[in-house]
């Protein structure tokens, strides 16, 4: 088994690294960063300690890589790109909520937003985690602010005001997801989507 692990690392180091990131991201999402031991990750990834530490010298370095290489791309795939490519901001936001609600109902379990989960657990205790997590939120907010500028209502606002509106959209989603996790139902997200849709429409942001 040890020889097989070494061959895997030598023959496909990027594949090995990607597998460890996938496993760590899943475990951090399911049980939290602090509750996940390096041994848990090694066992789930089928990795030796030496192979794991070759790529990630510390648990913290692994978690920071998860934020940058798994959580940030997930936000881009789930939120930023669908909204950017949608016919309108209103439709884009509505479609994102609908897709997430459908996924939660299919799974029958709400484990929460990976970014929210890590932010709530780690931002207060560590400056590097806080900076990495904030960078993801800032990218998300900036993308929404840019899309707001394409709307009738948003075009009348300066960038600072568009950023405030974008922050509100992110906050509505993040809060609703936290409530959905607490109640183990997608209902808070469905309610938030309806209210947010009216808010966008009333301010000329939906077009």
| Domain locations in the chain as residue ranges | 1-57, 60-202
1-57: CATH, from 1.10.3470, 1.10.10, 1.10.760, 1.10.260: 1.10.10
Query: Over the stretch 84-133, which tens digit does the pLDDT of each residue have?
Result: 999 999 999 999 999 999 999 999 999 999 999 999 999 998 999 999 99
Give the span between the Cα atoms of 12 and 26, in whole angstroms.
21
Whether the pLDDT of residue 57 is over 90: the answer is yes
pTM equals 0.91
List the one residue out of 20, 33, 185, 43 whose CA is nearest residue 101. Answer: 185
60-202: CATH, from 3.40.50.1100, 3.40.50.300, 1.10.357.10, 3.30.70.360: 1.10.357.10
What are the C-alpha distances in Å from 153 to residues 67, 89, 166, 190, 205?
A: 33, 11, 13, 24, 5
């Amino acid at each position: 088994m040890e020889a097989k692990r070494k061959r895997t690392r030598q023959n496909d180091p990027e594949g090995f690294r990607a597998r460890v990131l996938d496993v760590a991201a899943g475990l951090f999402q399911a049980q939290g960063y602090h509750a996940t031991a390096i041994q848990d990750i090694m066992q789930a990834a089928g990795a030796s300690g030496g192979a794991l530490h070759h790529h990630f010298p510390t648990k913290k370095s692994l978690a920071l890589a998860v934020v940058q290489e798994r959580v940030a791309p997930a936000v881009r795939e789930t939120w930023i790109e669908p909204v950017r490519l949608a016919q309108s901001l209103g439709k884009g936001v509505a479609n994102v909520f609908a897709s997430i609600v459908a996924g939660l109902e299919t799974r029958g379990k709400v484990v929460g937003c990976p970014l929210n989960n890590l932010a709530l657990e780690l931002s207060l205790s560590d400056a590097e985690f806080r900076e990495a997590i904030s960078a993801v939120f800032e990218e998300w907010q900036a993308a929404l602010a840019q899309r707001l500028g394409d709307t009738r209502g948003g075009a009348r606002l300066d960038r600072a005001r568009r950023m405030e509106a974008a922050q509100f959209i992110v906050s509505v989603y993040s809060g609703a997801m936290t409530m959905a996790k607490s109640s183990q139902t997608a209902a808070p997200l469905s309610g938030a989507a309806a209210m947010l849709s009216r808010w966008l429409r009333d301010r000329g942001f939906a077009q």
